[in-house]
Structure formats: structure tokens, C-alpha cells
Structure 1
Amino acid sequence: MEALRTDVAIIGGGLGACAAALAAARLGCRVLLTEETHWLGGQLTNQAVPPDEHRWIEDFGATASYRALRRGIRDYYRVHLPLTAEARAREALNPGNGWVSRLCHDPRVAVAVLHQMMIPHQLSGRLLAMLPQRPLAAWTHGDRITGIVVRGIESGRDVLIEAPYFIDATPYGDLLDLAGVEHVLGAESRAETGEPHAADRADPRAQQAITVCFAMEHLPGEDHTIDRPRQYALWRDLRPPGWPGPLLSWTTSRPETHEPLTRFLFEAEDGHPWWTFRRILDRANFEEGFARSDVTVVNWPQNDYWLGPVVGVDPAERERNIGAARQLSLSLLYWLQTEAPRPDGGVGYPGLRLRGDVVGGTPDGLAPAPYVRESRRLRAELTVLEQHIAYPLRPDGPELFEDSVGIGSYRIDLHPRVGGAGYLDTGCWPFQIPLGAMIPVRVENLLPGGKNLGVTHITNGAFRLHPVEWTVGEVAGLLAAFCLEKKLTPRAVRNRPALLEAFQSLLQREGIELSWPSLAPV
């Protein structure tokens, strides 16, 4: 078996992985990065989810490198695409004018910009990205990981990666499992965490819904109806418990109140139709004739899949549930094309055309990877609880952590869970990310690079979005580099005040904010 040696090995290619690779390479480390799909970027690219961000994102509350990513995406449109003069001059350009995000954009642009950010380090030889590769096994010695075996999905060739530091940036937290790192899966019990919204009993299968996203355009007068999906009858007739009607309908449940909410494709009672929810191309931003249609991404409540988990189950069950989730998304599209009631009294929008090219040309036209909202989570020196950040429990503000290594903000937003628990959407203060949540209770040389840090099933709902995942990954890359240079362990950095102060100073020099100004809850 071939062996590759590097300073920092990052397994998984999500947003946190990209941030970690850039950070460690910036500080002179040799970095090796692996990813299972053909695209780096995770939820922003191969999962096709435009960035979910807090309301202050244009001014503060993100790292300098994350702001560079956002700026690079806008600049890419300005340099390479025929924007109108008005759109080109707009500082806060939103290419799709989607209402869920201030930067709804095509995932292919994010792939291109991430590549632009990484290519200097790749040309210098400091960064090697290996795609597509799947982690198979971990070699350990005592409380350290010594190597990770990955297999080329196309070549079938196994490679051993050896490094003094590993970062788990997989969407499922796979290294935590392969290396026997203490972790939590699914829902903890209220007795364990004391959280008001925790479950009565722990349940590792009670994971948030996954979603297989897809892009589509609308060409009135044309017929682009797909073949009837083989599971269409199942999904068309499904009436989930607690849901206001059939899953495939225009009426869903408000996450905050669980009251029924009706939105149609192009109009809605609250003024927010589904078409503009995650629209990534608004023709109004481009010169006339550039595109035949707007393009929107479908990541709706109607294609959330929660009938079975995908983390911590055997590969056959994972693939079965991902396959069912893909069938659900195809069934939603088929319903939209053939049976969806229209406000004019007709049914169906046959002019809806699946845009598989937007997500890389997969065989079924859907995103290459499912949007995984919940990973395995590290058992860490400090676990962030609902009591630390939830507005209803802390009227005077969030917990302030002396070991803060970054900040984030989002509501505690959980989608329906396997086993029947519905939406949880509750207010949350802008929060700090404590270094203790990134330090395993035992293992010395593994760091989280995404959603797998020390949070709970509940607080994951606030930590799982794009800017926080990027920050966690960037901090992991900087911490690994800092420890290599100083010949330290991450645990020592956190628990020795002088070292913690030195590391926090490095973070600030690298453009990472450690605290919020006085802000209202979200």
C-alpha cells in the first residue's frame, strides 16, 4: 500500500475542510485533503445549498477568509458574466435574489472560487487535494491517530495517509467512528444534558432530516416532465404525523409555531413563494437574452427525508435511505410537473425543467450528495448546551467563553427528526465558539472540521450552517499549525492561559472575530 506523509491531513472536503486547508497552508504546513465527490465545498457545492447566514453577515460576524469567499463569488459574477449595469454596481449583489440568503448563487461558481483560493497553495506544493476518495480505516496508537486509509472510488486503490494532525471534515463524522474517538449520535436525553428541549430518552437514530436538493428552471409552453419515479405513489399518498396534510402539497408547517402555511410556486400568502426561496439565478440581474429562465434550488420542507437515519448505520441502510431521499425529491418534481394545483384552477407545471448541469451532471439530475444536517458529534472537553445560547433561557445574554475561538449566529433550527419529532425553531443569542468544544476528551491529534464539534442534538441546530462550519474548520487548521510549530497539543493550548492567549492573538491576526458587539437575539 502506498503511504503519503503530510503535516495536516483533512478527511472530507466540506466548507470546513476548505477553510482548514487554506488556514494550515497559509501558515506553511503541508496539507493533504480528501473528498468523496468530485467537488470540494460540501453544503455550498455538492449538496447545493446556498449559504444560510445571519442578518449581520455583510458587516461582521464572519472570518476574513469567509468574507473573501463571499467577495470572490460576487466578483466572479462581475468579471465573467453579463450582469446589468445596475446589478454590477450593487455592492451586495445577490445573483439569484433568493429571499433565504443574501448570496444565492450557482454552486458551480462556488466551486470555481474555492479553486481560485486554493490554487496558489496547490501550485506551491503545500496542498494536495485527492478526489474522489473514501476513508476506510484508521490506525491508532494509544490516544493518537497514526494513519487513515482511503480508497479511490474510481481507481479502487488504497492509500495510507500519515500525519501528526488529522481533521475530520466528513459530513457524517466518519473519522470519529473509524478511529474510536468518543462521540455522540442522534438525540441525548434530558437527564444527560439538562436541556429543556432534549428528548426524554437518548436515541442515536433520532437524527435530523436529510435533503437531496435539485435545481430547476421554468419554461412555459414546453413539456419537460420526467419519467414517473418508482416510489411516486408512496410519497404522493404519505401524510406524516403532525403534518397539516399530504407531504406533497403546497401547505406545510411553520417551523416556529407548527401552524399550517400555504405557499404556491409563484405566489404565497406571506409574500414569499417557493420559486424565490432559494433562487440562484434571477434573469433581472443579467443582460436580456442571457438565460431562458430563472433557476431555483429545491430544498423545501416537502423533500426533507426523515424516515430513516444515514449516520451511524451500516452502509446498506445508509444507501437505502439516501436512495429513498432521492426518490422523494424526484417525486416532488414529478408532482410539481403533473399534479400540483395551480391558482388558476389547473394542475401541474410541465415546463419545469430539471437542471442537472447545475449540480455537476449526476445521472438522476439531483445534487451529488445529500444535505446532511447532523453529524456524529465529538465528546469534547466542553459541550455547548441549550442553556448556554438559547434566548428564552438567558434573557441577559449568552454564555461568554474565555476560550472563545470564533463567533456564530443562527436560530436553534432543527428539521423533523427520524422517529417523529417535528420542527424545533427557537430564539438564540449570537454566540461564541469555545475551544473546549473542539478538544476531544481523550484523543490528542484529531480536530473537528465541521458540524462534528462538541455540541448537542439541540445546539447543532444553531451551529450547523455555512459560516460557523467555515470558522470551525479554519480554527482547526490554524490550531494544528500552531501546535506543530510550538510542539504542543491542542489540550495544552486550551488549558494553559499563556498559550491560549497566544493562540487567540494568532486567530485575531488571521481575521477571526472572538466576540460579538451588543446584539439582539435571532
Structure 2
Amino acid sequence: MAHQRNGLLSDDVLTRPDEGATYTCSIAVIGGSTAAYTTALIALKLKLNVCLVQPQRVVGGQFTAQALPASDDGDLLSHRADLVSVDGEKFAISKIQRWFRNQQRRLQPVAGRRVEDPGGSWVGHLSTTPVVASTALNEALMPYLKSGKLRLIPYAEPTGLLWADGETPRRVTGVTCRDRRTRHGFTVRAKIVVEATDLGDLLELGNLPSRVGQEARSDTGEAILPEQARPQCQQSFTFDVLVERTAPGRGVPIGMPKEYGRVTWLNLKEFTGDFWVRKQGAWKKRDFFDAFGIFRYRRLQRRSLTKNKVSVGDVSVINWGTSGHPELGQCCGNDYRTGYLVGLSRPERDRQIQRARTRAQAYIHHLQVNGVSDLKPRGDLTWTKDGIALEPYIREARRGIALTTIRHGDVAKSFFPNQARARTFSDTLGIGQYHYLDLHGNLVEGHVSPKKDDVYALPFTLPASALVPIDTDGMVLSAKSIGTTHITNAAYRMHPMEWAIGEASGFLAAFSVWSKKQPREIVQQPSLLRKLQGFLTRNGIPIVWFDDVAHDDPDFEAIQVMAAAGIITSESKKDLHFRPYGSVSRAVVCTALVNLLGLEKMEAARPAFKDVRPGKHWAYGSIETLKAKGMVAGMGRGRFMPDKAMTRQQLGYLVRRAMPKAYPAAFAETSQDRHIVQRRDLSRVFYVLLKVKLGI
């Protein structure tokens, strides 16, 4: 009977193909990434049947097989509600992602209590063990595995793409795959294939237009890049290791790898167990078990309710990059910077992966024989013998050339002076935030290193067109293969954002199946795009940054979609507030209506109102346009009073004149009285008008 144990699904819910087997489904999700999981889950929730083909038995990517369930959260996720905003987990992520985080908290109490951060690491806001993360993820899939709506095929990799005959653009119809253990070849046919591998393998197998590593300036238009592309300049990758702090003398050696001290690429001199911090010109050492040392950096499980206390029995994932040292310069932990993975032959890729695994083992061995002996590998939490992850933690993939490429200028603070947000794409399907562009460069020379405001990232959005390959139908890009650049991938690769990318690709794939339209048609037709955005937001997925409108707000969908459409946006660019209860001036309403209707602004020879004149009031063109079409009237004595708050009664008059057939539906949930129009009222009413206009 279907069940799970220690985060592993039982054999009876897994599919192990015979040689030559063929499976048919609505959506084929290929890959074991975090986004692969969320893509599949969304499609299943939308009542479609899914084939999920992945390299391991466990689902979840970064959280599980890569052993890094210490989520790289932006600061906004930990925001606490105040007088003007709501909790971060109610506006910065979706309802489903919040459910996952709460399940983790439920499954891993501390000292018998539910706490906000069961791991208590000092770098993040929420961490648990891979087994807990896997258990929570499996709970959501179990009903679909039992019903047969989900076919989960583990230990498998793609070997090629299937194409429709003679179509332009060319269209993917399926994927050929191979079981890595039995070597059986099999085929998955689907209406939509989702590229959700951690290294962008389908792009390479299908010879789809793509980019690898650091691009040239001419490739992306990013001024910070050099003239020549450097594809070998990629982010480092890491084999994470789970270790427990033991009582003195009770440590368990991980063992010395045979290459230890014999090969140059291990570079033992850069290993350190201390974290040095330079403040006010002086160096301060933090020991390995210090409250802000390496062990607690990504601690996953704690014994004490006191968050800063490090206790015997605590468990941490060692995921340590570079850090300064007063004598050695730059030191490093288990980050593997010597090589790279994308663009190599499979045998060479496997060799680099094995070297990275050896480096992780060597680092833990170095710690154990150099003063940090009280460590015990926790293989029971990684489903391995030595506590080293099943797969490397991947930071960068082959990236598809999509209809839209997200560039440095769409994300970095330097391009948005005195603003709270980065670019809000009109076709946004999600939001993300990480405070800077976190580039872990390998040791290949020539890496660009953004500085100051060029490296800081503002809250950003996910354009739907970045999920659509430029010349291929039947496919949706997901995970780290979407249309980012080497630079912007450094923000979009984080846990919460990859989850959001999976949700977006799941909805886009499902909507393509429902509508029988290709993804490129959906993202390029306004009626289909706004309908898709409505589906996402109706299901509690934010697509525009507002910190005062929760995803369970009754007007969440209307506010989000109208803002994405650029019709009703923030009052100020300097904060993330929407101000749903704020009043709306008559000028603002007129401007929003002109934008909604797509009217060409008119310039009257003689102003209709003496208090709205050309060059004197910013809404002159909009007000004159509506006056000429008989949609607005003045307030007496030749005045329009543009800055006066509009009432619901006046809004009703305006809507009745502008779109009489839409009037009853527009005011079905809004009273017509003399109360002033709130910003949420305007979004609610105008959203109905937009849907009527677009025929959705």
C-alpha cells in the first residue's frame, strides 16, 4: 500500500519502465529540480495527468537530493505584520509555498514546540532536515500517486526529444529517456514538455538556442559584460554534507579520500574551520561551533529553543563557500570551483561531479583531523552512507534563449534609483527577492563581479515570456533553464524563486493544454495572458510586489492583475504599498479608464474645464479624452475638480457611460453610494471591465 518512510516513497507508487515502454500524459516534467516538483504539483492540482521523470527517488531538488533545505530567503519573507503591511509569507510567496513551510515547521518541532525556524541557522529564516522537507513534499503528491494521475519515474534521465513532422516553429511531442540503473530505454509522449532539469539538459539534447556561462556584451546587451563570451565562467557547485555535533570524543570519522594530499585540485591549504570577520580594520575569529560560525551557518536541526545556542545533537549542512582569512587570503570550504558542468561531455561531467564529491569528503576529513573532531556524518538524513548529498547543489544551468531575456537592468538597484521595486513585467507570472546577485564564481579567469548598486537586487518579477523558447513549441522552460543571463540567474536560482518558477511553468503548461494554444500564443495574446494571470492570482500566487495585500485578500486577484496590466499601480515607487483603503482622485480614475480602454489621448483646442489645463495638470489629456466621448462631466461652474476624491456614485456614472453592458457585473459586489472610492474598489470594478473588454 502506498506510503512513505524516512522521506522515501514506497516502491508501489514508483514506475520502473520495461525496455521500449511508452507512456502518454498531458504534461511531461523532466528533471529533479525544485521547480520540477512544483510544476508537477500545480498541473496535478489543475486535474491534469503528469509524468515526472527524475534522476533520484526523492522529489524536491535543492531541498532534498541536494541536501540544502536551508531556504535562501530574501529579507521580505521574514517581515512581520505591522500597521501598514502584512506578514511576509502572505505577500512574498504563494499560498502553496506557505503551506510547505508550515508543514516543515509542524514536522520538526523544537523541544516539543512548533517554532518559526526549526533549524535556527544564522544565514536564513527557515531550515529543516532533507527528510522533513521530503516528507512534507510527498504528502502533497500522495493522493495523485494513489489515483494514478501522477506517474513518477525515478533513476531516469532524458536522452533525446521527439518532434512533430514538418511544423514551423518546430514542436516537441515527447522525450526519450533511459533508466540509469536498468539501462532500459523508454518514451514519454505529452502535449507539453517542461524542461526542469538542473543543468538544462533538454536544451542541449534538442539543440535548442541556449547560452552557457558568462555571455558577451553583444549577446545580452548588459553593459557590465566584456566583449567576449566566457562560457567556462560558471558558478561553482557543491556537494553538501550533513553532520551532527557529538559529545566530546564521540565523533565518527568520515574517512580520508585516497586523493587527499595527492592532487592539486583538492588544494587543502584553502580549507578552514574558522570564520574570520573584518570589522573596523581588525580581524575577529569565529570558531567552528561559535554561535555565528560555520556549523550554525546552515544548521538544520537544533535541540535548544534558544536560537543562538549550539548544542550537542544539533545537525548542520556544511555548505561553505569562500571567506577572508588574515593570513591565507581567501579560504574555501566544500564549494567546488576547479571545474564546471555545463557544456561538457557526459563522461567529463561525471568526472567533475566525482571530484566535487571527493572535495566535500576531504573538507569534512580535514575538519575532523584539525580540531573539529566532534562531528558525525548523518547519512540517514541524506539517504547515503556518509552524509554527503545524493546530488551536487547546482547554481547554474544551460539557459534557454527565450522570447524575453531577463537582464541586469531588469533587476539591479542601480537601474531603479530611489525605487522599492525592480522592473514589473506586464506578463509577470511570479515574484522573487534576494538582496543581491549571489555569484559564486569558479576559478576560470574573467568573471564579471558587480559592485555596489550593480550587485544589489530589488524585488523582481518573472515574465511569462522568459518561460517560452524562442523557436520551439510544445515546451515550457523552468528551473534554472529559463531566459535569464549569467548575472540575473544569480537571483532567480534561490529556493523561493525556483519554487515560484515551477508554479508559473505549471500554470502555463496546464493553460496550454486546456486552451489548445501554444505557450507562445498565450504569452503574446493579451486576452489569454490576463486570463492566465487571473488563474494564478486566484490560486494565491502573487505576480506583483505589494506588501499590504495578502494572498487571501478578497480583492487579491483584481489588485494583482490590474497592477500587472499597468492600469492601477502603486501610488509611490518608493515603497511596496498598494494602499488598498486609500482614496482615489477623479484624475486617477480617468487616467486608469483611458488606459484600460486603450483610447488615444486627445488635445482639445479649448480646455473643457478651467481647472484642468494643458501643461498645468498631469491628467489633462485623459480628462479631455473622456469629456470628448461624453463619459465624464464637471462638478459645476466649469470645474472638473481633478484632485477631489471620487465617490462610488460618480464611478458608477462613469462606468455606465463608458461600458454600459459591463455595468451590472462591474458593480455586482460594490455599492453605489456617496462613500469615496477606495483603491481596492477601483481595482475590483475595473478588473470586471478589463475582462469584458478582452472577452475573458
Provide the C-alpha distance between the structure 2 equivalents of 1:237 and 1:210, rounded to a whole number of angstroms: 14
The 5-angstrom pairing of residues 20-169 of structure 1 reads 20-49=39-68, 50-58=70-78, 59=88, 60-78=91-109, 83-84=110-111, 87-88=113-114, 90=115, 92=116, 94-141=117-164, 142=167, 143-169=170-196
Greater relative contact order, per chain length (Cα 8 Å cut-off, separation 6+): 1
Deviation for aligned residue 1:95: 1.2
* 2:194 is aligned with 1:194: no
Report which stretch shifted further, 431-440 or 184-193. 184-193
Give per-residue Cα distances to partners, 1:21-80, cap 9 Å, x unaligned: 1111111111010110121100110101121111222422111111111111112225xx
Give the counterpart of 1:315 among 339, 346, 352. Answer: 346
State how far apart, in whole Å, the 2-side matches of 1:264 and 1:235 are: 28
CA deviation after TM superposition for structure 1 residue 234, in Å: 5.3
Question: How do 1:239-254 and structure 2 match up within 5 A?
Answer: 246-250=269-273
Larger mean CA deviation between 414-423 and 184-193 belongs to 414-423
Q: Does 1:441 align with 2:460?
A: no
Identity of aligned pairs, percent? Answer: 32
User: Using the alignment, how far apart are the partners of 2:95 and 2:241 within structure 1?
Assistant: 30
**Post-superposition offset of 1:145:** 1.2
Q: What's the CA shift string for 1:283-318, capped at 9, x where partnerless?
A: 1149xxxx9611110000111112111122101111
Displacement of 1:238: 6.4
* Maintained 8 Å contact 2:111/2:303: no
| Deviation at residue 138 of structure 1 after TM alignment | 1.5
The code of the aligned residue for 2:150 comes to L
Count of residues paired in the alignment: 489
- The answer on 1:386 being equivalent to 2:417 is no
| 1:268-347 correspondence to structure 2 within 5 Å | 272-285=292-305, 293-301=313-321, 302-339=333-370
* 1:430 corresponds to which of 443, 456, 459: 459
> Structure 2: which amino acid aligns with 1:407?
I
Contact 1:415 1:422 in 2 (8 A): no
Q: How many Å apart are 1:193 and its aligned residue?
A: 2.3
Question: 1:457 aligned to 2:457?
Answer: no
- 1:467, distance to aligned residue in structure 2 (A): 1.0
Answer yes or no: is the 8 Å Cα contact 2:402–2:465 preserved in 1.
yes
**CA distance in structure 2 between the partners assigned to 1:186 and 1:470 by the alignment:** 23
Partner of 1:229: 257
Secondary structure of 1:332's aligned partner:
helix
1:513 to 542, 556, 565: 542
SS in 2 for 1:4: strand
CA contact (8 A) 1:438 1:447 kept: yes
Distance 1:334 1:359 in 2: 18
SS in 2 for 1:373: coil
Give the distance between the partners of 1:99 and 1:236, measured in 2 at CA: 33
Distance 1:178 1:192 in 2: 22
Rounded Cα–Cα distance in structure 2 between residues aligned with 1:119 and 1:228:
40
Task: Give the C-alpha shift of residue 360 in structure 1.
Answer: 0.7
Cα distance 1:237–1:266, how it changes in 2: closer, same or farther (>3 A)?
Answer: farther
527, 530, 544: which one aligns with 1:501: 530
**In structure 2, what is the Cα distance between the partners aligned to 1:365 and 1:111?**
16
Q: Give distance in 2, aligned partners of 1:388 and 1:165.
A: 29
Whether the aligned pair in 1 keeps the contact of 2:238 and 2:336 (CA below 8 Å) is yes
Tell me if structure 1 keeps the 8 A contact 2:93–2:541: yes
- Given that 2:288 and 2:295 are in contact with CA atoms closer than 8 Å, whether structure 1 keeps it comes out as yes
Question: For the aligned residues, what is the CA RMSD?
Answer: 2.4
Q: Indicate the SS of the match to 1:203.
A: coil
Distance 1:264 1:195, change over 3 A: farther
Residue 177 (structure 1) aligns with: 204
| Amino acid corresponding to residue 464 of structure 2 in structure 1 | L
Normalising to structure 1: TM-score of the pair? Answer: 0.88
Whole-angstrom distance in 2 between the partners of 1:430 and 1:253 = 30
Q: Contact (CA 8 Å) 1:187, 1:199: kept in 2 or not?
A: no
Q: Distance in 1 between matches of 2:254 and 2:467?
A: 45
Q: Which amino acid aligns with 2:314?
A: D
CA drift of 1:361 comes to 2.0
Q: Which of 471, 479, 484 is residue 508 of structure 2 equivalent to?
A: 479
2 CA distance for matches of 1:19 and 1:317? 30
Cα distance 1:254–1:484, how it changes in 2: closer, same or farther (>3 A)?
farther
Tell me whether 1:366 sits opposite 2:388 in the alignment. yes
1:404 is aligned, of 428, 438, 441, to 428
Output the amino acid matched with 2:400: L
Q: Secondary structure at the match of 2:317?
A: strand
Cross-structure match for 2:244: 217
CA contact (8 A) 2:39 2:506 kept: yes
Q: Rate the CA distance shift 1:10–1:238 in 2: closer, same or farther, 3 A.
A: closer
CA distance in 1, matches of 2:245, 2:300: 13
Shift of the 22–254 alpha-carbon distance from structure 1 to 2, 3 Å rule, reads: farther
Letter in 1 for 2:257: P
Q: Give the 3 Å change call, closer, same or farther, for CA 207–232 of structure 1 in structure 2.
A: same
Secondary structure at the aligned position of 2:482 is classed as coil
Kept after mapping to 1: 8 A contact 2:26/2:192:
yes
Deviation track 1:474-516 (CA, whole Å, cap 9, x = no partner) reads 1111111111111111111111111111111111111111111
Structure of higher CA gyration radius: 2
Distance apart, 1:229 and its partner CA: 1.6
CA gap of 1:456–1:14, structure 2 versus 1, over 3 A, is: same
Paired letter, 1:230: K
Is residue 281–residue 296 contact of structure 1 (8 Å, CA) maintained in 2? yes
Q: Is the 8 A contact 2:156 2:178 kept in 1?
A: yes
| 2:77 partner SS | coil
- Whether contact under 8 Å (1:309, 1:418) holds in the other structure is no
- Cα distance between partner residues in 1 of 2:99 and 2:40: 15
2:439 is matched with which residue: 411, 414, 417? 414
| Alignment check: 8 A CA contact 2:36 2:502 kept | yes
Between the aligned partners of 1:165 and 1:260, the Cα distance in structure 2 is: 55
Q: Distance in 2 between matches of 1:307 and 1:358?
A: 28
Contact 2:243 2:387 in 1 (8 A): no
Q: Please say if 1:19 is aligned against 2:50.
A: no
Structure 2: state its 5+ residue gaps.
1-19, 79-87, 322-332, 547-572, 577-696
Which residue does the alignment assign to 1:353?
Answer: 376
| Distance in 2 separating the partners of 1:104 and 1:84 | 16
